[in-house]
Amino acid sequence: MRKVLLLVVLFVLLTSASVMAQADITIEFYFPTAVDAPINEIIQRYADQFHELNPNITVVPTYTGSYTQTRDTIRTELNGGGAGPDVAVMLTTDLYSFIDEGSIVPMQSYIDTLEDPEAFVSDIFPAFLANSMDEEGTIWSLPFQRSTVILYYNADLLREAGIENPPTNRDELLAAAQALTLPNGERWGLLVPFAGGFPIWVFQPFAIGNGRNITGETPTTVYMNDPQVIDALDFATNLGTEYAVGPAGGSVWGDTPTAFLNGQAAMIIHTTGTMTNLLNNATFEVGAAFVPMGLPNDEGLGYGTVTGGGNSYIFNPVGAERSPEELEAAWLWAEFLASPEIQSDWGAATGYIAARASAWELDPLASLAAERPQYLAARDQLAYAAAEFTSYRAIDTQNIINATLSGVISGAETDAAAAMASAQEQIDALLAEYR
């Protein structure tokens, strides 16, 4: 009798576990976009594919606007006592703010359970991992839609001007831009979108290529008043003033690719996320090259750029905790989005850089890159990419940096060194409690 009872109990437990494992789970997924592609359709296709592999998990994708709008939506929900989305694509620079708020969970614990965690991590480009982990090396998020800053050039115009190769350092960049500029704003030699949008992001390659990234080794280290950073800022400012190869203050973010396509700009520095748009719509040969280094490399400085874009985060805010089964389902979805197969498809469809090295060996991306080597320039530049600026109090610190850079480049602030020193003091004061 006792043995029968034990068997019945065991059966019930096993049945319950099986039911729990197969219980229907819904994943709320928030995603933004900053590229011209049918994002909604693509994401829904991924959700359907994922559901086929995991019949008990349904992903409900919600387009939430820009990165800023997505962040604001999530914060509004969390501040109201809600749980927010299960998974969301957010800027990599939001990492420490969400860690500080206790609203996300690290993915490291899930990665550690994989059959070969080391192989999984090593397949992700190190430049993208830099903004995916904290200063202790714990991975909190996975790259999804990642990009970097790159130089685009109208190869037809360069040839007409007798310029055989794209510029490799800032002296060559300036010389080419001056040769390609026409009077009265008829055509700019070089457009850099410092005016609105992401001045901090497009400025970072100038600083990195000049020998010093403005973000430091920790989320509390900032190099705003470093001489190399200030020198890079002077050069960026002079592009639109002293050299007049672009409008004073820089171009507007969204207008810059349009001006390039319309022949109003011979070269632009912009995101790799717009590459597909440029290649599909240009009536001329579009070239893609590394952002020129600050000085010739025989003077000790090399190439430099910065990564950007969004990672997948799992949300589990304090006071609205999810079950282990829900968190596991969220991880499976984030892992799926970061898989080589999806990264290959996503990169080919949108122009974002596939974050997994193995994704470049898979179609459709492998075939696309063979046909359009411009994509390979974006990938290969990752060897020289540094971390995007991030810190605790990220919104506040970035607002200070953006305001300072805009003020100097626009001419509103005439003393770059003083403006950057002031920004350094303000940021140091904000971050003092985290040191």
- The answer to whether the CB of 279 falls within 8 A of the CB of 272 is no
Backbone angles phi, psi at 153, to 5 degrees: -140, 150
Q: Tell me: do 99 and 244 sit in the same domain.
A: no
- The answer to whether the CB of 360 falls within 8 A of the CB of 379 is yes
Q: Does residue 15 lie within any of the structural domains?
A: no
Q: Distance (Å, rounded) from C-alpha 363 to C-alpha 344?
A: 7
What is residue 201's predicted lDDT score, i.e. its pLDDT? 95
Q: Tell me: do 112 and 236 sit in the same domain.
A: no
This prediction has a pTM of: 0.90
Q: Tell me: do 166 and 266 sit in the same domain.
A: yes
What mean pLDDT comes out for the span 53-82? 93
- The answer to whether the CB of 386 falls within 8 A of the CB of 305 is yes
Q: Distance (Å, rounded) from C-alpha 41 to C-alpha 28?
A: 16
User: Which residues have C-beta within 8 Å of that of residue 85, sequence separation ≥ 6?
Assistant: 28, 29, 30, 62, 74, 315
Number of domains forming the structure of the chain: 2
Element (H, E) at 57: strand 57-63
- The answer to whether the CB of 338 falls within 8 A of the CB of 145 is no
What is residue 334's predicted lDDT score, i.e. its pLDDT? 98
CATH number for the domain spanning 128: value is 3.40.190.10
Q: Tell me: do 373 and 398 sit in the same domain.
A: no
Q: Tell me: do 375 and 398 sit in the same domain.
A: no
Q: For residues 129, 134, 135 and 137, what is the CA-based torsion angle, rounded to 10 degrees? A: -60
Q: Does residue 394 lie within any of the structural domains?
A: yes
Q: Tell me: do 299 and 405 sit in the same domain.
A: yes
For residue range 366-404, what is the model confidence (pLDDT) as tens digits? 999 999 999 999 999 999 999 999 999 999 999 999 999
- The token pair at 321 is 């905790």
Taking alpha carbons only, the member of 141, 190, 139 closest to residue 161 is 190
Percent of all residues in the chain with a pLDDT value above 90, rounded to a whole number: 83
User: Which residues have C-beta within 8 Å of that of residue 82, sequence separation ≥ 6?
Assistant: 320
- Residue type, position 355, single letter: A
**DSSP E strands, 219-324:** 267-271, 286-289, 305-314
Q: Tell me: do 118 and 267 sit in the same domain.
A: no
- Tokens 């009077």 label which residue? 183
What mean pLDDT comes out for the span 150-165? 97
Q: Does residue 2 lie within any of the structural domains?
A: no
- The token pair at 327 is 């968190």
Q: Does residue 370 lie within any of the structural domains?
A: yes
Q: How many angstroms separate the Cα of 435 from the Cα of each of 164, 168, 292, 428?
A: 50, 39, 35, 10
Q: Is residue 250 predicted with pLDDT exceeding 50? A: yes
Q: Tell me: do 40 and 86 sit in the same domain.
A: yes
For residue range 266-313, what is the model confidence (pLDDT) as tens digits? 999 999 988 989 999 999 999 999 999 987 777 767 899 999 999 999
Q: Distance (Å, rounded) from C-alpha 202 to C-alpha 195?
A: 10
Q: Does residue 62 lie within any of the structural domains?
A: yes
∠ CA 221-225-229, nearest 5°, is 95
Q: Is residue 13 predicted with pLDDT exceeding 80? A: no
Q: Is residue 320 predicted with pLDDT exceeding 90? A: no
On the question of a cis peptide bond just before residue 247, with omega within 30 degrees of 0, the verdict is no
Instruction: Count CB-CB contacts under 10 A for residue 299.
Output: 10
Q: Tell me: do 271 and 313 sit in the same domain.
A: no
User: Which residues have C-beta within 8 Å of that of residue 327, sequence separation ≥ 6?
Assistant: 105, 314, 316
User: Which residues have C-beta within 8 Å of that of residue 8, sequence separation ≥ 6?
Assistant: none
Q: Distance (Å, rounded) from C-alpha 192 to C-alpha 214?
A: 18
User: Which residues have C-beta within 8 Å of that of residue 51, sequence separation ≥ 6?
Assistant: 57, 58, 59
Burial of 84 (0-12, 13-18, 19+ CB in 10 A): buried
Q: Is residue 213 predicted with pLDDT exceeding 60? A: yes
User: Which residues have C-beta within 8 Å of that of residue 220, sequence separation ≥ 6?
Assistant: 391, 392, 431, 434, 435
Q: Distance (Å, rounded) from C-alpha 383 to C-alpha 411?
A: 34
What mean pLDDT comes out for the span 405-431? 96
Q: Tell me: do 195 and 248 sit in the same domain.
A: yes
What is residue 295's predicted lDDT score, i.e. its pLDDT? 76
What is residue 177's predicted lDDT score, i.e. its pLDDT? 98
- The answer to whether the CB of 87 falls within 8 A of the CB of 43 is no
Q: Is residue 6 predicted with pLDDT exceeding 60? A: no
Confidence label for 325 from pLDDT (cuts 50, 70 and 90): very high
The SS3 of residue 147 is: strand
Taking alpha carbons only, the member of 139, 140, 82 closest to residue 318 is 82
Q: Is residue 31 predicted with pLDDT exceeding 80? A: yes
Rounded to the nearest angstrom, the gap between the alpha carbon of residue 300 and the centroid of all alpha carbons in its chain is 28
Q: Does residue 12 lie within any of the structural domains?
A: no
Q: Does residue 14 lie within any of the structural domains?
A: no
- The token pair at 425 is 């003091």
Last residue of a domain, one of 366, 381, 396: 381
- Residue type, position 202, single letter: V
Q: Is residue 332 predicted with pLDDT exceeding 50? A: yes
Q: Distance (Å, rounded) from C-alpha 43 to C-alpha 35?
A: 14
Taking alpha carbons only, the member of 263, 202, 212 closest to residue 402 is 202
What is residue 14's predicted lDDT score, i.e. its pLDDT? 34
Q: Is residue 15 predicted with pLDDT exceeding 90? A: no
Q: Tell me: do 339 and 419 sit in the same domain.
A: no
Instruction: Count CB-CB contacts under 10 A for residue 361.
Output: 12
What is residue 35's predicted lDDT score, i.e. its pLDDT? 61
Q: Does residue 8 lie within any of the structural domains?
A: no
Residue of higher predicted confidence among 351 and 338: 338
Q: Tell me: do 178 and 286 sit in the same domain.
A: yes
Element (H, E) at 401: helix 394-410
Parent domain of 248: 148-307+388-434
